[in-house]
Amino acid sequence: MRNFCVRARIKYIDQIDITEKRILIRVDFNVPLDENRKVADDTRIQRSLPTIKYALDNNAKIILMSHLDSPKGKFKPELTLLPAAEHLSKIIGQEVVMAPDCIGPEVEKLVSEMQPKDILLLENLRFHSEEEKGDKDFGSKLAGLADVYIDDAFGVAHRSHASNVTIVDFFQKFGGGFLMRDEIEYFRKVIGNPERPVIAIIGGAKVSGKLNFLENLIRKVDKIIIGGGMAFTFLKAQGCDVGESLVEDDLIETARRIIDEGRKEKKLYLPVDCVAADKFHPQAATKITPVQKIPSGWMGLDIGPATEKLFSEVLNDAKTIVWNGPMGVFEMDAFSAGTRAMVKMVAESPALTIVGGGDTDVAIHKWNATDKISYISTGGGAFIEILEGRPLPSIKALDQNSRKTNG
């Protein structure tokens, strides 16, 4: 399962002289906020702390930058990063100054006044449309704020944006943070020389977002489990009448091709029963039914107990497990049992376990299994693309510039 990230040559923050330097760190503070505009889940902020604390220990002047949601290049006060600054201040025990913007004279003045160990958080990068366009001038302006650049935002590693790709060209000293290092090293364990059997668990709603992912995995892993809403496209491709279950009819032939590929080596496993409902609603009438016998007008919203048993047997001899996507609509209690059972199976497995994707991460936290998973990736799209075998733009930028700088 070798790919670009296995071969990438990247320096990390502890291999770079940052003492008393202005260090610009691309973090991923794209965190959920509650109704009071407070941070509702600080996982991504917590995961940035080792890199930030290392910079503090080296008396660096720390400039953090991130995006929040998708303001489409316009200032939206409800998408300010101020809540992240306030939250980081509390957990790190010192003031985090919030900049009024991410570029411009006011920001440059704040940076010029910084002392060693000061922390400045730039305002939402995506308030500028140039960020997502990968604009060179915008990247240059960001780079002008600092002496050293560190990318610690794996969650956007699959995006070719100014703050994680274009910007690298303007630095002589650059590298990855500790979060980026951990992400790459764990994926190297999976795609470099994994301990086998390697079993992939793929769930979620749609096949379309994971098509290349599935087609690559089916050739690389030893077994693949498919659950969640996407399973019904595959079941329909096998001739099952799946009622009103979610199906992407334009991908039926593709699903059939993947099924045929998986059958060659008996490595593809689909649900055999499901929790069906008469409507998509928390209080819907439900019944457990074989996937071939979903009542007309009903829909499958979770895997059933027989499928849980089947999937448990499939995972029994796993040495490496990769999981992306829930087994059902676990946000509704009536359809949460399958995902809860999968959390338990993966958490109790002695295998190396790597979990990625926002919904999967939420499920792991919901059922208190975070300390039983080998590694929880901060990437959703990046998680999928790295396992597809695609070079991630931000990692490629660090690698290529490192080779140019070091010969």
Q: DSSP H helical segments within 74-200, as ranges?
A: 82-92, 105-112, 129-133, 136-143, 178-191
The reply to whether 358 belongs to the active site is yes
Based on its alpha-carbon atoms, the radius of gyration of the chain, rounded to whole angstroms, reads 23
- Amino acid in the structure at residue 44: R
132 CB-side CA count, 13 A: 13
- Do residues 172 and 394 make contact, with C-beta atoms less than 8 angstroms apart? no
Q: What is the separation, in whole angstroms, between the first and last Cα of the chain?
A: 28
The reply to whether 381 belongs to the active site is yes
Q: Residue 3 CA to chain centroid, in angstroms?
A: 18
Query: Which residues are registered as beta bridge partners of 226?
Result: 202
- Do residues 315 and 349 make contact, with C-beta atoms less than 8 angstroms apart? yes
- Amino acid in the structure at residue 198: V
- Do residues 189 and 181 make contact, with C-beta atoms less than 8 angstroms apart? no
Euclidean distance between CA atoms 270 and 223, whole angstroms: 11
- Do residues 386 and 187 make contact, with C-beta atoms less than 8 angstroms apart? yes
Cis peptide before 197 (omega within 30 of 0): yes
CA quadruple 261, 221, 342, 360: dihedral sign: negative
Euclidean distance between CA atoms 361 and 43, whole angstroms: 10
Single out the residue of 269, 300, 270 nearest to residue 284, CA to CA.
300
Q: Are strands 299-303 and 173-176 parallel, antiparallel or unpaired?
A: unpaired
Catalytic site residue from 44, 181, 223, 340: 44
Q: Residue 304 CA to chain centroid, in angstroms?
A: 27
Catalytic site residue from 117, 136, 189, 206: 206
Q: Residue 142 CA to chain centroid, in angstroms?
A: 25
Burial of 406 (0-12, 13-18, 19+ CB in 10 A): exposed
Other C-beta atoms closer than 10 Å to the C-beta of 196 total 12
The reply to whether 366 belongs to the active site is no
Q: What letter would DSSP give residue 285?
A: -
Catalytic site residue from 133, 256, 358, 372: 358
The reply to whether 159 belongs to the active site is no
Single out the residue of 44, 22, 25, 23 nearest to residue 33, CA to CA.
44
| Catalytic residue positions, numbered | 44, 206, 358, 381
